[in-house]
Amino acid sequence: MSDHPVEVGVSDAYYIDVRKGGVKRRTINEYNRLDIDFKLVRTGTVVILDPLKTCNIAKYCTTCLTKDDSFDCKWCPMVGRCSDGFDWLRQEWQKRECDRKAFDDSAKCNSSKQCLLHKTYLLAAQFFYLFFHGGRIF
């Protein structure tokens, strides 16, 4: 046991799959790490981690952009979610060009494009309900 390094902490990461020459490569990028000084850990020590409320817990554009925190939250209408661009769904964020199309101005939350996108999702949901349930929406 004494030859094995002991570490205490947590880390979080996202991965990106890239296909080059028919070979799939997965790159893991760590974006958050919390190390606890092992000298502070004694027998009977309890470590309580209280996570910060990150961008991706916001489900709506307005709540995303009015959060009072230290994260650089942005709303991407292309995926309909809030992020700072560094979370488990980063690959989708980049694929849908959210790194360019996301915004942090809450005045844009009610733009016609946002409303149109929401209405499109609503119509799609109604269609699937009709298709699978054979019922009427109205």
CA-to-CA dists, residue 56 to 39, 53, 114, 126, 138, angstroms: 34, 8, 18, 26, 33
Other C-beta atoms closer than 10 Å to the C-beta of 104 total: 12
DSSP category for residue 40:
G
d(CA 78, CA 61): 12
d(CA 3, CA 72): 41
d(CA 49, CA 41): 14
Q: Among all chains, which residue has been given the structure tokens 């209408």?
A: 77
pLDDT averaged over every residue in the chain: 77
How far is C-alpha 78 from the chain's CA centre?
13
Residue 110 binned pLDDT confidence (cut-offs 50, 70, 90): confident
Pairing of strands 81-83, 23-36: unpaired
User: pLDDT per residue over 56-76, tens digit each?
Assistant: 889 999 999 987 767 899 999
The pTM of the full predicted model, rounded to 2 decimals, is 0.58
**Mean pLDDT (whole number) for 11-39:** 79
**Residues 62 and 109 sit within 8 Å (Cβ to Cβ):** yes
**Mean pLDDT (whole number) for 88-115:** 82
